């Protein structure tokens, strides 16, 4: 059975209304196991460093721990690739059958700044 877990840094920093959004999204999407790893979108933004921030709920529906070690992730809006980047995130191993929120930072230059970035889909790339 899929469970929601927040990383320690998220537990300390998350606002109550953001926790409610994440918990609600988890209950809506915890059975969407059409793939082994599913990214359910939460929000998108660009920060002061001009990084594209994509916050998602990462569902690991597999039976193995999900690790991000030079893992290529692609962000698409409709049929357009808006961003792609290789991520190594040692603090983000996601055990089997766990869902966890995370914000992926696509540095300036790894995304198309002249395209709208709202309402996209994040996916692992082969």
CA distance 63 to 44: 29
Task: Return left, alpha or beta for 39; rule: phi > 0 is left, psi -120 to 50 is alpha, else beta.
Answer: beta
Task: Give me the chain's average pLDDT, please.
Answer: 95
pLDDT tens digits, 17-48: 999 999 999 999 999 888 999 999 999 999 99
User: Residue 104: its pLDDT value, please?
Assistant: 98
Cα radius of gyration (the chain): 14
93, 64 Cβ separation under 8 angstroms: no
Q: What is the mean pLDDT of residues 101-114?
A: 95
Report residue 113's pLDDT band, with 50, 70 and 90 as the boundaries.
confident
């Amino acid at each position: 059975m899929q469970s929601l877990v927040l990383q320690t840094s998220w537990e300390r920093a998350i606002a109550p209304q953001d926790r409610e959004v994440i918990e609600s999204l988890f209950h809506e999407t915890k059975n969407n196991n059409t793939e082994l790893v599913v990214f359910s979108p939460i929000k998108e933004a660009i920060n002061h460093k001009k990084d594209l921030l994509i916050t998602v709920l990462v569902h690991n529906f597999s039976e193995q721990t999900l690790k991000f070690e030079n893992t290529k992730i692609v962000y698409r809006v409709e049929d357009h690739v808006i961003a792609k980047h290789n991520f190594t995130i040692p603090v983000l191993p996601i055990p089997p059958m766990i869902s966890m929120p995370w914000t992926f930072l696509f540095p300036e230059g790894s995304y198309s700044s002249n395209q709208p970035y709202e309402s996209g889909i994040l996916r692992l790339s082969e």
